[in-house]
């Protein structure tokens, strides 16, 4: 039997599709375009790209570097790299934080993916015919009140994810993302093209791409730093895990640049899918997560070809949700394989089963135990706060400190051999002196908010 650390991607394309699929999630698709429009459009995109390349990309490179150098699950990879540099194995706690973040996020995220699959079914069945604002709100509230229904669709999403993980790196993850991610890109471009002719496209373009530098202040820069860090899914153990499958012949630097650019491009094109319909039908672009489940169904009900558009849109969201779940689950699954010497099919069942059991608490937090709170937060709020405001920024900061200060430069230089000397020194400066204070600010602002 092959060991957990023996699997490798068959090509850079497979690694890129898996990594972009992991990075592009549901929140990324609706949140990034809205944040862009609210914070100066094209001006914000420029600030975001600067932050992505100065903060997000160095951490992403560091995480992939650790994975490939350490050849193991997140904690094992960090411990192996630390040992090579003569450092304490206690650094492996960084990898453990990533796995805890991934598991915590997955518990709540699985339920949201369940909503997407349920709405995909609704789109196929009814096309949201006759839907107006009041009906859409009532429909979503009925979904939140129906725990058996939410559980069914959550289990469908986890079942698909588990099947992909169960099948292995090449036969499961690689094969799935090599089909699903090109499909997602095709759906994005096709839906955006449709909107060009359906109305509202010009207003969405202006919302997203008209530069307004008067809106670029400290708040916008902080939003750009946060978006740049969170949108590429670092500090969740997933990129270390995917990095451990990366062959030595593949350039980490070139791959990470492609991942960051692709992630940003998907988010912006998603804006051209979502916001033309919102503006054309006079709906609220600031509806947050409700934009997907309450606002857009009203637009689908009103637009020509809305039935087909709705089906394709929720198919796209389902692909984004499942590929993100695969990255989250695989990070934990890889560790379980190594830690307990368990074959993949058993570890996949154990991890997915554990998420399924705990997701019941998450689903009940929308209705039966919604009033059960700690510090004013219900279970889902606590999970979200713990992962996004504590584990991710602190984990990212510690990754930067570890690679920038604890790892021997000869090791990091060897992994980033495709960079010339000046490029490597710039990266090393960023990971030491720019990333840690930026993530410290995100952490402090998140805790104080």
Per-domain boundaries in the chain: 4-448
- Mean of the pLDDT values across residues 143-159? 97
What number is the average pLDDT over the span 324-329?
98
Name beta bridge partners: 377: 374
At residue 287, does pLDDT exceed 80? no
- Do 223 and 39 form a contact (C-beta atoms < 8 A)? yes
Give the architecture (CATH level 2) of 4-448: Up-down Bundle (1.20)
User: Considering the chain, what is the average pLDDT of its residues?
Assistant: 94
- Tens of pLDDT, residue by residue over 232-273, are 999 999 999 999 999 999 999 999 999 999 999 999 999 999
| Amino acid 6: pLDDT | 63
pLDDT tens for each residue of 197-239: 988 999 999 989 999 999 999 989 999 998 889 899 999 999 9
* pLDDT band for position 4 (cuts 50, 70, 90): very low
Strand, helix or coil for residue 52: helix
Are the beta carbons of 95 and 77 closer than 8 angstroms?
yes
- 38 vs 168, which has greater pLDDT? 168
Q: What is the CA radius of gyration of the chain?
A: 21
Stretch 387-411: mean pLDDT = 97
As to burial, measured by CB atoms within 10 angstroms (0-12 exposed, 13-18 middle, 19+ buried), residue 283 is buried
Measured between alpha carbons, how far is residue 155 from residues 107, 116, 159, 163, 177 in Å? 12, 12, 6, 12, 20
Average pLDDT over residues 390-397: 96
Question: Is 60 exceeded by the pLDDT of residue 2?
Answer: no
**Cα(305)–Cα(311) distance, rounded to whole angstroms?**
10
What average pLDDT score do residues 282-308 get? Answer: 87
Please, what's the largest Cα pairwise distance for the chain? 66
Helix (H, G, I), strand (E, B) or coil at 39: coil
For range 284-297, the mean pLDDT: 84
Residue 44: burial class (beta carbons within 10 Å; 0-12, 13-18, 19+): buried
Type and span of the H or E element at 390: none
pLDDT digits (tens, 9 = 90+) for 158-179: 999 999 999 999 999 999 999 9
Q: How far apart are CA 132 and CA 3, in angstroms?
A: 54
Give dist(CA 254, CA 186) in Å, integer.
23
Both tokens of 19, joined, read: 């990594």
pLDDT at 323 over 60: yes
pLDDT at 202: 94
Q: What percent of the chain has pLDDT over 70?
A: 99
Question: How far apart (Å, rounded) are the C-alpha atoms in residues 307 and 112?
Answer: 22
What pLDDT is stored for residue 317 in this prediction?
96
Compute the average pLDDT of residues 329-356.
97
- The pLDDT score that the predictor gives to residue 12 is 95
Among the residue ranges 136-150, 169-183, 273-287, 424-438, the one predicted with the least confidence is 273-287
Closest by Cα among 329, 334, 386 to 110? 329
* Predicted confidence (pLDDT) at residue 1 exceeds the cutoff of 80: no
Which one-letter DSSP state was computed for residue 377?
B
């Amino acid at each position: 039997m092959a060991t957990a650390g023996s699997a490798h991607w068959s090509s850079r394309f497979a690694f890129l599709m898996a990594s972009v699929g992991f990075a592009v999630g549901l929140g990324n698709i609706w949140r990034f375009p809205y944040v862009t429009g609210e914070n100066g459009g094209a001006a914000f995109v420029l600030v975001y790209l600067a932050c992505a390349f100065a903060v997000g990309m160095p951490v992403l490179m560091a995480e992939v570097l650790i994975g490939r150098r350490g050849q193991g699950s997140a904690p094992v990879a960090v411990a192996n790299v630390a040992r090579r540099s003569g450092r304490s194995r206690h650094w492996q706690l960084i990898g453990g934080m990533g796995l805890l973040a991934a598991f915590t996020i997955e518990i709540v995220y699985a339920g949201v993916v369940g909503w997407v699959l349920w709405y995909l079914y609704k789109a196929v069945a009814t096309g949201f015919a006759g839907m107006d604002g009041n009906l859409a709100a009532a429909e979503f509230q009925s979904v939140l009140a129906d725990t058996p229904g939410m559980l069914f669709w959550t289990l469908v999403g986890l079942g698909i994810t588990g099947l992909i993980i169960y099948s292995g790196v090449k036969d499961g993850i690689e094969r799935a993302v090599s089909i699903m991610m090109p499909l997602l890109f095709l759906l994005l471009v096709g839906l955006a093209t449709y909107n060009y002719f359906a109305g509202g496209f010009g207003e969405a373009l202006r919302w997203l791409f008209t530069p307004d530098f008067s809106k670029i202040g400290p708040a916008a820069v902080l939003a750009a730093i946060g978006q740049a860090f969170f949108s590429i899914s670092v500090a969740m153990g997933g990129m270390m895990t995917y990095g451990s499958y990366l062959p030595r012949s593949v350039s980490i630097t070139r791959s990470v640049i492609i991942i960051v650019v692709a992630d940003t491009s998907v988010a912006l094109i998603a804006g051209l899918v979502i916001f033309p319909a919102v503006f054309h039908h006079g709906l609220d672009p600031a509806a947050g997560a409700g934009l997907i489940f309450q606002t857009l169904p009203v637009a689908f009900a009103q637009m020509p070809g809305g039935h087909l558009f709705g089906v394709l849109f929720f198919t796209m969201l389902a692909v984004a949700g499942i590929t993100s779940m695969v990255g989250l689950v695989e990070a934990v699954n890889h560790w379980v394989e190594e830690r307990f010497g368990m074959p993949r099919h058993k570890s996949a069942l154990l991890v997915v089963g554990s998420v399924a059991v705990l997701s019941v608490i998450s689903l009940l937090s929308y209705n039966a135990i919604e009033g059960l709170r700690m510090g004013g937060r219900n279970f889902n709020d606590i999970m979200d706060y713990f992962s996004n405001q504590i584990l991710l920024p602190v984990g990212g900061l510690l990754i930067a400190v570890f690679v920038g200060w604890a790892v021997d430069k000869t090791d990091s230089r060897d992994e980033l051999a495709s960079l010339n000397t000046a490029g490597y020194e710039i990266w090393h400066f960023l990971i030491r002196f720019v990333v840690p204070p930026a993530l410290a600010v995100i952490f402090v602002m998140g805790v104080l908010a």
